[in-house]
Chain A
Amino acid sequence: MLRKIALWIDERLHVSKIYASTAGHSVPASAESWFYVFGSGTLLCFIIQIVTGICLAFVYVPSANEAYTSLEYLNYQQPLGWFIRAMHDWGSNFMVGIMILHMTQVFLFGAYKYPRELTWISGVVLLICTLGMAFTGQIMRFDQDAYWGLGIGAAMMGRVPLIGPNIVHLMLGGPIIAGETLSRFFTLHVFIIPGLIIAVVSMHLRLVLMKGINEYPEPGKPVNKLTYEKGYEELLKKEGVPFVPNAIRKDLIFSGLVMLGILFCATFFGPSGPEGTPDPTQIRTVPRPDFFFLWIFSVLALLPEYLETFLILTAPIVGIALLFALPFLSGTGEKSYHRRPVAFLSVVVIYLVVGILTYLGTYSPWSPQMDAWSGDQMPVKYIQGRTPLELEGALVFQNKQCRNCHSLGGLGGQRGPALDRVATIMTSDQLVRQVLQGGGNMPAFGKNLSPPEVAALAAFMRTLRAPTESPVRNSTEPAQPGR
């Protein structure tokens, strides 16, 4: 009886035929590799995101007035709301991370080469969509960082010549960051981009079925457009294995580990934010983007001003165009990274650059530390045994917010140089000139300091050196023993 029902369903739905052409399709035995698990891992994360995202949408209110409260409600009132938020949050981190591993593997293994150009291109579209999801998702967590993140986005768009204002208003859905802005990003995050991802993932998988999984590349076996497809067919005949159950084994183990990883992080680290209400009048804030965008934040701090607008507007377009063009620029030839030194080095350089920029972004040395002047301790060794004038200078140093940019004893801003040994580098005259006139990216304090304050400050700074060191002096100045 059961068998009859099964057969009836199969006859109507063609389940076994679909199974044979998808799950049962033949893949090269060499594709049963631990390097080939990242694609399915990314897809798994996406499915987790859909399920947890739908759960969040049951409660979340995409309104500028209510979003923050509904997030707090999810965190503290809705049973297990914190868990769903944490799963969605960590799921997105895992998704971006695993997707980048997948992309790196595909690049290093030459899998984007003939005849899989479109697989790569659809993958690049998925990369852009996923990063779009990460950014718009950060906006859904409608807090101070989300608000000022939108401000940064608008300021970048505002640099577009001619139609800049129109693009800003299109992005914000009005003249300021407000209710319609959140609605707009909600639409992107929940309807437009996920719809695109589902469509493009379908194409991506269809292409994997039609053009086959890349065989594990061997050095010395270059891709030739005339012979490749025939060779691949022969390879499948000779040593092809069905995707299920052979090649899927490692995917399954990896997927299980990924799920456990997300579960572990979600349970033990919880959801992030929301931090600070999205109230622009609360200006005591230090806006930072989420982890994956920190490196862009760093780039924006470090670019020279004359290049900035040009690079903000052209670099993303050039970068994406290069990714799209890659399979046409090097569509044939060696696949193995053992024979592609430029490709291998590019990956190393990109990882290093993005890694260092991200690291810099985590403590952003280019930003003044807004509370250093009032909050950071003055090391005792810099005030002990000092004259009243020098102590007065130490007060000026704190009160005039010098500490926000200059550290002493490791505390304070890193925007300007640390001043622990400034007396061994600059003479009294040089110190006064620098303070009054500024320069070298330091503001001039001439208008804000009275002559006695300047004298006190200079006297204090002349004491900033190790006890064994003597301060530098003008060549015309006679040496004074002691000071």
Chain B
Amino acid sequence: MNTKESESQETNNSGVSRRGFFLKVGVALNALAASLIAVPLIGYVFSSFTRKGPYQSWISLGPVVDFPEKHTRLAKYRNPFTRPWDGATGDIPCWVRRVAGEEFQVFAINCTHLGCPVRWFQDSRLFMCPCHGGVYYEDGSHAAGPPPRGLYQYEYKVENGVLWVRGGQLPTLSEPV
């Protein structure tokens, strides 16, 4: 056949064969299209790396009168950043300690060691964690066990007799509340 001949002649004349050129264009075209698809795909999967700042919003915990002075009580709120299918997982508990008047301490439920839910014991005035034995005093400071710091505390405010906290995300050591 003379296709081979003509191809070799073409190569000799210009230094680029039609087939070689097609191959290169084909590879380049695919690489371009694939990266155009890949960029939004990666952006979608790794969107947590492009968000700005923590998830935070003011949340009402109800009227101040629900929290008697010198007591620590469990309060719940609906997380402000939820999806309709979140079910009960969108309800977040926290411990509210009313020190006196409008002075509060609102603690995240999560132990600072590995995030298990701490429980309040009114009589010994201690928080105890059921996972690895972390214990905290009533002001949230570390009392015993492996936790590296005291309980996470929400920022709070009292407006028109209602207690508000600033939260919205699972607290961790690198991003408390």
Contact = CB atoms under 8 A, between A and B. Distances in A.
A443 B91 contact: no
Interface in B163-177: 168-170, 172-175
B147 to A, nearest CB: 8
B58 interface: no
Query: Which 7 A-B residue pairs are closest in the complex by CB-CB distance?
Result: A158-B172, A65-B87, A164-B174, A175-B169, A443-B143, A169-B48, A155-B115
Contacts of B131: 148, 152, 286-287, 297, 301, 367
Contacts of A283: 74, 93, 109, 117-119
Interface in A50-101: 63-66
A172 interface: yes
B142 to A, nearest CB: 9
Contacts, number: 206
A279 interface: yes
B76 interface: yes
A147 interface: yes
19 contacts: A64-B85, A66-B85, A165-B54, A166-B48, A168-B170, A169-B48, A177-B89, A177-B170, A178-B79, A178-B90, A278-B87, A279-B91, A280-B89, A280-B117, A285-B130, A301-B132, A366-B132, A399-B123, A448-B123
A160 B116 CA distance: 19
Counting chain B CB atoms within 10 Å of each CB, the highest count among A174, A181, A281, A285 belongs to A281
The A interface, classified by DSSP as helix, strand, loop or mixed, is loop
Contacts of A402: 124
B125 interface: yes
B172 A165 contact: yes
Given A148-B115, A151-B116, A161 B174 contact: yes
Interface size range of chain A in the complex: 35 or more
Interface string B26-62: 0000000000000000000010110100110000000
A180 B86 CA distance: 8
A30 to B, nearest CB: 48
Interface of A: 63-66, 147-148, 151-152, 154-161, 163-170, 172, 174-181, 277-281, 283-287, 297, 300-301, 303, 305, 308-309, 364, 366-368, 370, 373, 399-402, 404-405, 415, 438, 441-445, 447-448
Interface string B120-133: 01011110111111
B135 A165 contact: no
Contact of A159 (B81, B117, B173): B173
B59 to A, nearest CB: 12
Contacts of A400: 123-124
A366 B116 CA distance: 14
A164 B74 CA distance: 29
